[in-house]
Amino acid sequence: MSSTGEQALADQHQDAPPPQSRKSGAGGGSGGGASRGGKGRSGGGGGQSREVQVSKALSKLLRHDAVKAGLELDDEGFAGVGEVLQWNRLKSLKVTFADILTAVSDNSKQRFALKPNPRLVPLPEPTSTIPSDWLIRANQGHSIAVDSSALLTPITLEADNVPPVVVHGTYYAFYPSIVASGGLKKMSRNHIHFSTGLPEDKGGVISGMRNDAEVLIYVDVRKSLEEGGTSWWVSDNGVVLSEGDGEGVVGTGVWKRVEGRKKEEVGVLWEEGKEVAELPEEFRGRKGPGGKGMNRGEVGGGRGKGKGKGRGRGKGREEKGEEAGEGVACPLEQEDTPE
């Protein structure tokens, strides 16, 4: 979508437009959005704002339930907005095209991208508010099969685009089990998720880590690429992703450093592929946020005290549902605030 077209669409809805994404989708952005979707609280969502409820529903559909719902995705993971709006959960929320625009442009984690439907001739006007004129996708976080090369940008030594910092955030409760299993696992997701910095860093990061992560696992992506056997990617919203090796694991051999988020609690645990200290016993019994269980990138049921309880969903079990509770122990995309 051209910048002129984006502005026209934005003016139509009295808000900032979603910027152009690398894969021809418009994703993320700032701006209020009050004039497009109904802000404020809504019934049936556990006190969550309407924006959070819509975002969670869209994530569940586009990341996990598209096939089950009979929704057709193109090679880049896009689906027709008109078809998306017919999904029962979104219909029950009475989601409108204006709500879709809010979810795309106002979400600080830039979870979604929007683009004109390329099958239409002529192409839709950039100010069109007809749902069938547009396609939407989730930028990352899928458990359904998608083509990584169409959805994501490869990180390679040849392209010299290896981020200087690649870090996975987890919790004290799960760290011993991760170590015992030999590394980070993708579980039922397509990828393990990493951030390119910490939420408190200057400028911050868009997505890839929860604000309350307790243990930071820094990975040497360059070493991983040099060794071969593991692919690395980056999404349009800046999340670094990997399928892991042939067994879906990013092993401890490429862990550059592991340390506690709060240095006064826990110091360096791992350095240059070698364990230098164990997690102190007093931190092993702590639960993850809300007492939740394991998540993507975590291992459930291993040795150590890393199981946790998943709100009636069983111990050490990944929850594959929507953002609140998706990736239970370390839900990188969970909306602890309207992300």
Query: What digits encode the pLDDT tens for the residues 189-247?
Result: 899 999 999 877 766 666 678 888 999 999 999 999 999 999 999 998 899 999 999 99
Q: Taking the model in full, what pTM does it have?
A: 0.66
Residue 302 lies in a domain: no
* Out of 43-52, 128-137, 204-213, 296-305, least confident range: 296-305
Contact in structure between 335 and 56 (CB atoms under 8 Å): yes
Burial-class residue 42 by CB neighbours within 10 Å (0-12, 13-18, 19+): middle
- Number of domains into which the chain is organized: 2
Q: How much is the pLDDT for 45? A: 57
Q: How far apart are CA 65 and CA 81, in angstroms?
A: 15
Q: Would 315 be classed as within a structural domain?
A: no
Nearest to 50 by CA among 105, 99, 16: 99
Residue 170 has pLDDT above 90, yes or no: yes
**Residues making up the chain, counted from first to last:** 339
Amino acid in the structure at residue 125? E
- Is 7 found in the same domain as 115? yes
CATH of residue 106 = 1.10.10.970
**Higher pLDDT pick, 250 / 293:** 250
**Could you tell me if residue 222 is inside a domain?**
yes
Q: What percent of the chain has pLDDT above 70? A: 69
What percent of the chain stands above pLDDT 90? 53
More confident residue, 208 or 281: 281
- 107, 173: one domain: no
Rounded mean pLDDT, 113-133: 94
Round the average pLDDT of the chain to a whole number and report it. Answer: 77
